[in-house]
Structure 1
Amino acid sequence: MSNIQSGNKDRLHHWDFSWALYLMLGIPFHAAVIYSLAHEWAVSSPDKSQVLTWLSSFLHTFRMPGFFLLAGFFSIMLLDRKGPMIWLKSRLFRLGVPLFSATLLILPFQIVVQSVALSVNGTLPWADLSAYTTGQLTQFGEPWISHLWFLWSLIAYCVGLAMLHALVGGANLRAALDGLVGWVTRNRIASFIGFAGLCAATAYVQSVVVAASPYYGNAVINYNAYILYFCLGVILFHSSKMQDLLVKPGPTAACVGIVLAVLSVFPYTDLLGHTLNVIAGIAGALLIVGYISNLAVKHFNRPNAKVRKLVDASFTIYLFHHPIIFVLATLFLLVNLPPIIEFVIIAVVAGVSSYAIHQLISKSSILSMMLGSNATSRSGRSLVKVTG
């Protein structure tokens, strides 16, 4: 049996490190993308930085893949135990309530701040600010999804998994996944060819969707791109071979993963280039996530009070760091500091402030339920309860 599942399955302390890390990396990612040359964020600075462009692009290659991999792993764990109906009802409540609450309490504030930022940087005349803000608040668009997209995606993935589990049965699903892993192990060349073909098909579909609707097409792709990692997490739970492979990458493999991740964000001009980008992105993400998993199993396989505190706070921190960064990025439009200095200030202040908000929210059971800070517990099952 793999190290991942050794001992009491309920007490998976070593995953707390990975869970907290992937969510907490949202802070430097969103603070860096303000200054990115590659992306025009909701609140962007006119002062760009190549270093921060690289940092934001690099973090993007593995942060959410790792999150959804763990989400798939623990989703199937609890689904097997509870059954599809009970499990899905729990998921819809634990994910849906924070999604609904944050949509009503956080996103309108962000929309207002984003509109003000446009006037501060001169893009939107101050005289038009009120009408523009009202329009943004009263019509559905990306600002009404924002950083909560992962909850929408996770809910959709959970619904799909529950339906599949109910249709084929847990035992049959487990047998099919075991058979798939066995076939891949015995037919590695054919498996790689199939994987490359799937990546080519994915690249082609992406190009067609984006060409049909650049704005909504990119949104559809971005919100559904992580289903692969969620599915890999499901397979991972049922396969000790896959679990052993996950925690195998060491520093050398991590370096290879970083190189592949960097290559995956290079611009491409044709379908072949796009396909190679997709292959490099997936392989790079898995190698980096594997190395993080390796570290987690080696160094965080027992209760750790400090890590547990971060895990308990991580979901609320993720919800609230985003609007705080919006405010700070808007304020920094009024001054002229080097991007790196602004980035450090924004990341530190956003991290400390959002943790302070968690501390306040955790004192109220109602607010904790609304904003997800009670989705974790102190029993060593925190990751299971949030993603499961």
Structure 2
Amino acid sequence: MAVGTSPRIVYLDGLRAFLMLFGIPYHAALAFSGQPWLVRSEQDSAFLWFLAEFLHVWRMPAFFVIAGFFSALILRRRGPGAWFRGRLRRLGIPLVTGVLLLWPAQWWAIGYSRMGSHEGAVSYMADAAWPPSSAWTIHLWFLVNLLLYSAVLALAASPWLRRYTGAVARVLVARFVARPGVCLTVFAATSVVLVTVGLAGWEHWHLRAVTNGLVARTVLLFAPAFLLGVLLGSRDGLLDRLARIPLRAVVPVAAAAVGAVLAARSWPTLGSGGTVLMEGVAWTVGGLGMTVLVLRVAPRLFPRPRAWVTWLVDASLPVYLIHMPLVLVSSLLLIRAGVDGVVGWLIVVSVTLVGSLAFYEVANRVPWARYAVNGSHKAGKSIHGHMKTRLASWTRN
């Protein structure tokens, strides 16, 4: 089935929404893993730490592949200027909303967890307020990355560069059509080299200090995934060919690379150089390999349009915006109440999911709030409206 047909778009939309929703169990697992994080439990949980790392290593590469795919797909229908203005609105407005409105609860929870008192929390909030830093974005770093990727893509598609970038893209597409497995291997190997060199340069020149954390090193880690998505979206049918790469060639490599990611986080004796090298290899190869596996499974999960999937698709960005303060505050309260480990994690995931979806339902009813959290005036799917329609249908029958 061609990528451009409706069922495939439905499946990709559904997958993208669930990848964003997985941020809830991921961040809740970090809070209760016992590892250093924004809010930290005193009780170590190897299971929750493993779960968090496992989710992250395939979730974000798969997300950026899909984001790149949709970017190229829409860019083919619109000019780069109009497309980028749309990206600024749909990504930039939720980013600004998140930075301006969500910081009090987040900073208070982080400060209280680290300082152990209300006074310490207030002191942390004052320190984080200025200058701009990673404390401003926290979980919204992916929006910063997407805006940067979109700016580069719009520039590459501009009339001044399209002649050259188009020629390169046509060669790459032709090679991929002929031998997708070989091309993916070459792409992954090349990406490993570039990402590893980039990470080494990032550490050597202390670029985190230069950007004060507003731009994270993840902008290098996930650039290959976004680029792969752009190439796949530049022509109909390429995503199908990627998903048909034999699993026997993908599974061992992906599994080994994911294991290397976990190992890189577990062995501090590797040193900074060894960790950078292992992360450059593992995140790139493991992420792209796991993405192929996800793309093989997802069509079976979202084979056709469903009302509840459409609802989650429309709700995914507002849910992601609001979920972090809910996770941080509820985790802090439970940890201080002595509710820890998997039990605390399950409670936080449940409370945050329900609360985030309720937040979307409220925001979706108010035009200005809808625009602030989604960057669009168009009303999304409402579960309340869907249930009313279903109830009316059952009543008539």
Corresponding residue number in structure 2 for 1:180? 172
Superposition deviation, residue 174 in structure 1: 4.2
CA distance in 1, matches of 2:344, 2:216: 32
Deviates more, 1:220-229 or 1:244-253: 244-253
Is the Cα–Cα contact under 8 Å of residues 174 and 238 in structure 1 kept in the other structure?
no
Assess, with a 3 A threshold, how the Cα gap between structure 1 residues 128 and 358 changes in structure 2: closer, same or farther: closer
Corresponding residue number in structure 1 for 2:192? 199
CA RMSD, Structure 1 to Structure 2 (Å)? 3.1
Corresponding residue number in structure 1 for 2:203? 210
Assess, with a 3 A threshold, how the Cα gap between structure 1 residues 360 and 284 changes in structure 2: closer, same or farther: same
Is the Cα–Cα contact under 8 Å of residues 203 and 271 in structure 1 kept in the other structure?
no
Corresponding residue number in structure 2 for 1:357? 359
* Amino acid aligned to 2:98: A
Corresponding residue number in structure 2 for 1:383? none
* TM-score for both structures, normalised by structure 2: 0.82
Q: Which of 217, 223, 230 is the equivalent residue of 1:221?
A: 217
Q: Is structure 2 residue 138 aligned with structure 1 residue 139?
A: no
Identity over the aligned pairs, expressed in percent? Answer: 25
Corresponding residue number in structure 1 for 2:105? 109
Q: Which of 126, 142, 145 is the equivalent residue of 1:150?
A: 142
Q: Which of 257, 262, 277 is the equivalent residue of 2:259?
A: 262
Task: Encode CA deviations 1:115-136: one digit per residue, 9 max, x unaligned.
Answer: 122233xxxx655443332222
Q: Which of 36, 40, 52 is the equivalent residue of 2:36?
A: 40
Assess, with a 3 A threshold, how the Cα gap between structure 1 residues 373 and 317 changes in structure 2: closer, same or farther: farther
Corresponding residue number in structure 2 for 1:337? 339
CA distance in 1, matches of 2:363, 2:172: 45
CA distance in 2, matches of 1:376, 1:62: 31
CA distance in 2, matches of 1:199, 1:321: 32
Q: Which of 19, 24, 29 is the equivalent residue of 2:26?
A: 29
* TM-score for both structures, normalised by structure 1: 0.84
CA distance in 1, matches of 2:324, 2:62: 20
Superposition deviation, residue 57 in structure 1: 0.7
Corresponding residue number in structure 2 for 1:385? none
CA distance in 1, matches of 2:20, 2:65: 13
Superposition deviation, residue 15 in structure 1: 1.3
Corresponding residue number in structure 2 for 1:247? 243
Q: Which of 127, 132, 154 is the equivalent residue of 1:162?
A: 154
How does 1:301-320 map onto structure 2 within 5 Å? 301-320=303-322
Superposition deviation, residue 244 in structure 1: 2.7
Corresponding residue number in structure 1 for 2:53? 57
Deviates more, 1:27-36 or 1:330-339: 330-339
Is the Cα–Cα contact under 8 Å of residues 371 and 377 in structure 2 kept in the other structure?
yes
The alignment covers a number of residue pairs equal to 371
CA distance in 1, matches of 2:191, 2:366: 48
Corresponding residue number in structure 1 for 2:384? none
Assess, with a 3 A threshold, how the Cα gap between structure 1 residues 215 and 164 changes in structure 2: closer, same or farther: closer
CA distance in 1, matches of 2:41, 2:160: 51
Report the secondary structure of 1:4's partner residue. coil
Assess, with a 3 A threshold, how the Cα gap between structure 1 residues 111 and 244 changes in structure 2: closer, same or farther: same
Superposition deviation, residue 26 in structure 1: 0.2
Deviates more, 1:186-195 or 1:259-268: 186-195
Task: Encode CA deviations 1:79-103: one digit per residue, 9 max, x unaligned.
Answer: 1211011111111112111111121
Is the Cα–Cα contact under 8 Å of residues 58 and 261 in structure 1 kept in the other structure?
yes
CA distance in 2, matches of 1:294, 1:377: 32
* Amino acid aligned to 1:327: V
Is the Cα–Cα contact under 8 Å of residues 266 and 277 in structure 1 kept in the other structure?
no
**Which sections of structure 1, spanning at least 5 residues, go unmatched?**
380-388
Q: Is structure 2 residue 391 aligned with structure 1 residue 368?
A: no
